[in-house]
Structure 1
Amino acid sequence: MQEIKLTDVRYRPKYHIAAKSGWLNDPNGLVYFKGYYHVFFQHYPYDAVWGPMHWGHVRSKDLIHWETLPIALAPDQEDGCFSGSAIEYDGKLFLIYTAHYNLKEDGSKSYQEQNLAVSEDGINFTKYQGNPVIKPPLANNTENFRDPKIWSDGQDFYCIIGGQTLDNRGQVLLYKSHDIYHWTFEKVLATSKVSTVQGTMWECPDYFEINGQKVLVVSPQGIEPDGEFYQNHHENGYFVGQEKEGNFIYPQNSFRELDRGHDFYAAQTLLAPDGRRILIAWLDMWEQKYHEQADGWAGMLSFPREITIEDGAVRMRPIRELGKIRRETLLNESTAQGQYTFSSPCVEVQFKAMQDLAFEFTRGFEKLSISYQNGKFLLEKTGYKQRKITWKMETLDVQILSDASSIEIFIENGPVISERFYGEGDLELKFQSTKDVAVKTYRLEL
């Protein structure tokens, strides 16, 4: 089979990760290895739709300039190489991934198990001959058993895997190894309290510590909308808890969304050499309209984000390396209202406002607007229902990153809103407030 070719670059991101062509979804294997940041992703190179999953691969020295590398994993005996993670060990780079097997014509059921692949150079990978290294659990889990996240405490290896109980609740299973090849089941780390509240299946788990606080990230399926919350087809969020006597303890119904936009899923993190925890997610959502499919590709990843814990909640902001692609300052003024046109969609916009603010982006057929007043954000986007976000703030410090088909909105000490944003032509910005707003914009370019 031949890889699908691009027919148009009108929606291609300039400074976000995307496959050179074909389909992309979940980020996998975020790791720093031999001087490079590596990001893998779920990929189907032969069409712009989801297909038998491969692992696409890019690397970077600075989290900004990405080099496309050969496909790292392709299904052979498996029917798909689903999501997983990466770790350096003994000078080598190990990938642990879900081997997915489809329902067979002979009546054999579909199932999932965990495999290893290893590389000396971080580019060419060989699958371990002893696969699988982790088989499906024997009790109280359906065939949904995927997306391993691996880490080490310097002595042993640990791996969590997303699962689903027989009574249809999401769960995370914990495994342990002394040598990375042989694994034993330790326990169920965490389980959905109620399926409709916390999910029927927990995909893409991640587990890490920041300043002594334990964070479990999951992508639940099956959460029912609750007022202004959980409005996406699937969710992506986290629990902040504590480890007590080897168990992860979190408050009842404490699941929080990581991002309040329409297009954010399957977030994964890595620990950078300087100690920062960096997060990247799929900047899309299942069962949406992907306008770029007509051009031979689909899907992109979020701009990398630094995450911290403040007042018991995860906060996200763009990585500081963003400064490397700031070119000339386009605007720098203070005014109560403004209307501007940018010839390139690749801009950064910063607002500092008091109490109320309304802004709107338009590009071709797309329009996205956000207003804030009396502790309420109102998000409106072409083709979508209004979305309300309650978040009381005295002042608004807003940072917005726009690329060729995306807008990410970071509100200091507040929500993050991630959106695919298409349209062609000039990017238009309008804003207004009852008081002067400090507005600053940069042109962004690699």
Structure 2
Amino acid sequence: MNVKDQELREQATLEIQKHKLQVESDPYRLTYHLMPPVGLLNDPNGFIHWKGTYHLFYQWMPFKTGHGAKFWGHYSSPDLVHWTHEGIALTPSDWFDKNGCYSGSAVDDNGTLTVFYTGNVKDEKNNRETYQCLAVSEDGLEFEKQGVVATLPKGYTAHFRDPKVWKKGEHWYMVVGAQSLQLDGKAVLFRSSNLKEWEHLGAIAGGNTDRLGYFGYMWECPDLFELNGKDVLVVCPQGIEPEGMLYQNVYQAGYFVGQLDYEKARYTHGQFTELDRGFEFYAPQTTLDAKGRRLLVAWMGVPDQQEDQQPTISHKWVHTMTIPRELTLIDGKLYQQPIKELEQLRQNQVSYEQVSINNGVLELDQVRGKSIELGIQDLSYGDRSIEISLRGEIRFIYDPQEKQATLERKSYVNGLTEARHCRLERLTSLQIFLDTSSLEIFVNGGEEVFTSRIFPYPDNELITFASKGSFNFHVNKWDLKYD
């Protein structure tokens, strides 16, 4: 630990202490989601199940609610439900990361927790340099930087970041998000036998290739994993224009399904599919746990999408993570489901076995709250729209004639109604996770997901169901609380 590192740690600790009361007094602090103790949180990093403990690191700016020279914050958990905020993992304290320890991943190297991240460097004229860096830990808490292990190859700009590392056979592989000199987004592959010396194999996917036309000017946060015999590439393209109901956020997060030829470094894939249909979802990262599950966590935010207007900023913090989800691949489509461990939070179950609405609005006495889970099954409806209104702030609507699901909310910037949509052949079930300032709706067992921040009047717990025709369903409601 050098002098600069020690200074940054002390300054961050003082910042937490200075604003602790102000942060914790915010009525929009979440109940069961991961947040920064102060300042700004963004991308999940280094998500791993290591020696029986889940570790989730995150991009952290402790000194303001804007972006800058990022730290790696650190949460750990025995069960993905009860989390401990650990000491700082990485600080931007060395020549190769002085302007930010940017996003990356973690692997287990023969019992050593080994993390890779991008070192961001800028000179006095704001020219950028980028380095892929390595740090190791024997206890999962204290990390020793090993320095630069991969530099910028030819053919790319310095927008070259977010290494995701995994092992296949006898070799380690690293995929990095990149921008080519032609300003196309790319996913670039490296190979290593020892995690320290990396061979550049080239771009395995990207815009203006034989499989894609123009597809954004930068691909961030790549992740590649095997699921059900297929290789799934998750990326976050920047610079895609809206197309109908698709690509409505400033930047996207989605995936391709295909096969990676490791010898030829060639990825054959199908079309790009968005992972989430809501307003805030970006930089997802996955890991494989000891139970054999492919788990995903994402940042419940989008860069450059009016994040500086979120109301929590007046309380000196901004952003949160999604709940962890388990991924399955069904007929070439990724399904996301809330992890089963979250059932530990359920309290005070209320059930309504047969609810019927006929051209009206219904409020159920005990179905209300701010931090709750709703399970809605056995849906029966005609050809008229059905809707669920949550806390006076947001509406989920399904139109069976248009075969379209819609999420509407009041903008936290100007109060006007804004919407996100997706095609849906039929609505069969909903699992809704509502927190003090967030909403995650899992449609049809995770066939589609809507993830969003919401900022209703803090005391509003009202939930209503409505239809212009007939609407019958079964609903379970749980309060979600820690014991």
Same fold (TM over 0.5): yes
1:147 is aligned to 162
Letter in 1 for 2:404: K
2:374 is aligned to 349
Q: Which runs of 5+ in 1 are unaligned?
A: none
2:363 is aligned to 339
1:122 is aligned to 140
Distance 1:441 1:294, change over 3 A: same
Query: Helix, strand or coil for the counterpart of 2:127?
Result: coil
Out of 62, 70, 73, which is 1:53 matched to? 70
1:132 is aligned to 148
Letter in 2 for 1:378: T
CA–CA distance in structure 2, aligned partners of residues 354 and 343 of structure 1: 22
TM-superposed CA distance for 1:196, in Å, is 7.9
Query: Helix, strand or coil for the counterpart of 2:342?
Result: helix
Residue 429 (structure 1) aligned with residue 463 (structure 2): yes
Distance 1:196 1:186, change over 3 A: closer
TM score, norm. by length of structure 1: 0.94
2:420 is aligned to 387
Query: Helix, strand or coil for the counterpart of 1:180?
Result: coil
> Do the aligned residues in 1 keep the contact of 2:70 with 2:101 (CA within 8 Å)?
yes
Residue 360 (structure 1) aligned with residue 416 (structure 2): no
Alignment of 1:253-292 (within 5 A): 254-286=271-303, 287-288=305-306, 289-292=309-312
Structure 1 stretch displaced more, 204-213 or 341-350 = 341-350
Distance 1:372 1:317, change over 3 A: farther
Out of 400, 420, 431, which is 1:373 matched to? 400
1:407 is aligned to 439
Query: Helix, strand or coil for the counterpart of 1:294?
Result: helix
Out of 248, 255, 276, which is 2:267 matched to? 248
TM-superposed CA distance for 1:396, in Å, is 1.6
Alignment of 1:32-43 (within 5 A): 32-43=49-60
Distance 1:197 1:403, change over 3 A: farther
> Do the aligned residues in 2 keep the contact of 1:49 with 1:293 (CA within 8 Å)?
no
Out of 174, 180, 189, which is 1:165 matched to? 180
Letter in 1 for 2:47: L
CA–CA distance in structure 2, aligned partners of residues 95 and 321 of structure 1: 26
Out of 43, 57, 64, which is 1:26 matched to? 43
What CA deviation, in whole Å up to 9, does each residue of 1:144-170 have, x standing for no partner?
A: 000000111252211110001111111
CA–CA distance in structure 1, aligned partners of residues 170 and 157 of structure 2: 31
Residue 438 (structure 1) aligned with residue 466 (structure 2): no
CA–CA distance in structure 2, aligned partners of residues 50 and 152 of structure 1: 32
Letter in 1 for 2:475: V
CA–CA distance in structure 1, aligned partners of residues 368 and 225 of structure 2: 41
Distance 1:226 1:363, change over 3 A: same
CA–CA distance in structure 1, aligned partners of residues 149 and 419 of structure 2: 46
Structure 1 stretch displaced more, 90-99 or 190-199 = 190-199
TM-superposed CA distance for 1:344, in Å, is 3.8
Letter in 2 for 1:152: K
Query: Helix, strand or coil for the counterpart of 1:231?
Result: coil
CA–CA distance in structure 1, aligned partners of residues 127 and 59 of structure 2: 23
TM score, norm. by length of structure 2: 0.87
Residue 178 (structure 1) aligned with residue 205 (structure 2): no
> Do the aligned residues in 2 keep the contact of 1:276 with 1:306 (CA within 8 Å)?
yes
CA–CA distance in structure 2, aligned partners of residues 42 and 109 of structure 1: 22
CA–CA distance in structure 1, aligned partners of residues 126 and 46 of structure 2: 30
CA–CA distance in structure 2, aligned partners of residues 420 and 227 of structure 1: 23
> Do the aligned residues in 1 keep the contact of 2:394 with 2:407 (CA within 8 Å)?
no
TM-superposed CA distance for 1:285, in Å, is 1.6
Structure 1 stretch displaced more, 436-445 or 193-202 = 193-202
TM-superposed CA distance for 1:427, in Å, is 1.6
CA–CA distance in structure 2, aligned partners of residues 402 and 108 of structure 1: 42
Distance 1:428 1:275, change over 3 A: same
CA–CA distance in structure 1, aligned partners of residues 375 and 350 of structure 2: 11
TM-superposed CA distance for 1:35, in Å, is 1.4
What CA deviation, in whole Å up to 9, does each residue of 1:1-48 have, x standing for no partner?
A: 331514123111111111122110000000011210000000011222
> Do the aligned residues in 2 keep the contact of 1:168 with 1:200 (CA within 8 Å)?
yes
> Do the aligned residues in 1 keep the contact of 2:369 with 2:462 (CA within 8 Å)?
no
> Do the aligned residues in 2 keep the contact of 1:283 with 1:300 (CA within 8 Å)?
yes
1:293 is aligned to 313
Aligned length: 437
CA–CA distance in structure 2, aligned partners of residues 425 and 108 of structure 1: 46
What CA deviation, in whole Å up to 9, does each residue of 1:50-95 have, x standing for no partner?
A: 2210000000000000000011000012211000001111211111
Query: Helix, strand or coil for the counterpart of 1:29?
Result: strand
Q: How many percent identity over aligned positions?
A: 36
Out of 413, 425, 429, which is 1:397 matched to? 429
Residue 70 (structure 1) aligned with residue 87 (structure 2): yes
> Do the aligned residues in 2 keep the contact of 1:176 with 1:184 (CA within 8 Å)?
yes
Structure 1 stretch displaced more, 12-21 or 282-291 = 282-291
Distance 1:380 1:197, change over 3 A: farther
Runs of 4+ in 1 over 4 A off after TM superposition: 194-197
Letter in 2 for 1:387: R
Out of 82, 85, 92, which is 2:105 matched to? 85
TM-superposed CA distance for 1:197, in Å, is 5.0
> Do the aligned residues in 1 keep the contact of 2:47 with 2:54 (CA within 8 Å)?
yes
CA–CA distance in structure 2, aligned partners of residues 191 and 343 of structure 1: 46
TM-superposed CA distance for 1:426, in Å, is 3.0
Query: Helix, strand or coil for the counterpart of 2:314?
Result: helix
RMSD of aligned Cα (Å): 1.8
CA–CA distance in structure 1, aligned partners of residues 208 and 297 of structure 2: 27
Q: Which has the higher helix share?
A: 2
Letter in 2 for 1:248: Y
Query: Helix, strand or coil for the counterpart of 1:292?
Result: helix
Out of 214, 220, 229, which is 1:203 matched to? 220
